[in-house]
Amino acid sequence: MQESKIKVGIGFATGRKSFRKVLNAYIYSWNEMKVKSNLEGKVSLNLFVAYDINYSNAQSTDFTNLSQEMVDTFDEIEFLGAKNIQKKFTQLIDNQIMTEKEIKQIFRSGYAGKRNAIVYAALENKMDYLLFLDDDEYPVAVTNNHGICVWGGQNVIPNHIKNIENADITNGYHCGYISPIPQISFNETLSEKDFAKFIEAISNDIISWDSIREKMKNGGTTYADTSILTSKEPQIVEEKNHCKFISGSNLCINLKRPERLFPFYNPPGARGEDTFLSTLLSDRIVLRVPCYTFHDGFSIYRHLLDGVLPLQLLPITAQSKNTVTRFYNACIGWIRYKPLLVYITNQNEYDEIIAKMQTTLEEVLPKICEYFENDKFMNILPELNKYNKNIKNHYHNFNETQNSWKKLLENI
């Protein structure tokens, strides 16, 4: 009797036209490594893509027009554009499986909704595992050897397949430009103490000032750890402040026991869907697997996918308007989801923490605006106040999304 193949889904929630090139890199890496990883003929690879044509003024063909070589690599391919997703939802409502309100809770606009649509499609197609990859992360790692970049390919897909069987979630590491915070030259306008206060006010436990200061010493770059690159063993992710922190990419989810799955969620207009999932994983097995992806957060190293490997990585400075805009957008995203994160993880001290954030922002935001020559940063405090005002509604929606998700899973 022939042994059944492991059914692995590759999931992308994307809006960038460069998506196909990134996908090609992962598949070429997979084709090179599957024999060495003893996975040749044992894995059925399948693709699930939830795309947004509005993100970068794209067309559907920018995502769906794959080369024949890519098509032949996958056993199943499902593209989840707006029309296809709506068709699925209409069927659920018409069959009286879900109400329209419940559908909107799970598949709301934004990245959380797209990720949930991908998980749902993977479950419908009876995937064993689902590996989320991002369109701005590449299957390579970079280390710093006496000021010179040393590059190495990463077996991302095999690493997750080999470790996910005995875990609920596996998550890899990230190098490159993980942080959107540019390198700061502190002066009389903005001191290091003031900037540290600002970062601590708006950030979560992962994006702390200590970690940011270390990255700034390297020009904003995070280099891969050679001890991790040479390791073969995953590490258990321990709970910290009621979270087992994960990232949304280089992330594999075990679908064999759907009752152990949780939905992604983020407040309206915010990100943090991976962080909110982290708050639900207390009794789940989460492993950090030894493989890196290079995060091209500023989209300046796409030529890596053409084989051009720089000897040095450029520091990201505040001189570029695009860099400042990206940093501002990240700050807005952080401040929109931090109230809910605090409410979930530390409800007893919520009011005290928010009041301290408000006081800090009142003090430092004028200095931030002056340093970056951008008054938009003053919007951060009103955004905090707005999301603080709606905190109970967002917390209710967070819990209702989980209830609706359970109902959906019961009917798959």
Q: Note the pLDDT tens digit of each residue in 15-70.
A: 888 899 999 999 999 999 998 899 999 999 999 999 988 877 888 998 999 999 99
pLDDT digits (tens, 9 = 90+) for 373-389: 999 999 999 999 999 99
Within-domain flag for 138: yes
Within-domain flag for 1: no
Within-domain flag for 157: yes
**Per-residue DSSP letter, 243:** B
CA distance 410 to 412: 6
- What confidence score (pLDDT) does residue 119 get? 97
SS3 category, 293:
strand
- What confidence score (pLDDT) does residue 206 get? 62
What is the maximum span of the chain, computed from C-alpha positions, in angstroms? 74
- The torsion angle over the Cα atoms of residues 23, 25, 30 and 31, rounded to 10 degrees, is 110
The helix/strand count (H/E) of the chain reads as 15, 11
| Contact (CB, 8 A) for 287 and 235 | yes
SS3 category, 311:
coil
pTM assigned to the model: 0.95
Percent of the chain residues past pLDDT 90, beyond the cut = 74
**Per-residue DSSP letter, 190:** S
| Contact (CB, 8 A) for 186 and 318 | no
Mean pLDDT of the chain: 92
Find the DSSP H helices in 132-272.
156-164, 192-202, 209-217, 226-229
- What confidence score (pLDDT) does residue 298 get? 84
Cβ neighbours of residue 92 closer than 8 Å, sequence gap 6 or more: 98, 103, 408
SS3 category, 48:
strand
Structural domain for 383, as ranges: 6-410
CA distance 326 to 136: 14
- The torsion angle over the Cα atoms of residues 93, 96, 101 and 104, rounded to 10 degrees, is -40
- What confidence score (pLDDT) does residue 297 get? 85
CA distance 400 to 393: 10
Interval 165-188 mean pLDDT: 92
Strand pairing report for 286-295 and 137-138: antiparallel
What six digits make up the tokens of 195?
A: 């900037």
Within-domain flag for 54: yes
pLDDT digits (tens, 9 = 90+) for 203-256: 876 666 777 777 777 777 899 999 999 998 999 999 998 999 999 999 999 999
Interval 262-268 mean pLDDT: 95
pLDDT digits (tens, 9 = 90+) for 101-124: 999 999 987 889 999 999 999 999
Alpha-carbon distances of 30 from 7, 23, 25, 37, 199, rounded to whole Å: 15, 11, 9, 10, 38
Q: pLDDT-based confidence at 314, cuts 50/70/90?
A: confident
- For the chain, how many structural domains are there in total? 1
- What confidence score (pLDDT) does residue 221 get? 87
- What confidence score (pLDDT) does residue 1 get? 43
Residue of higher predicted confidence among 85 and 117: 117
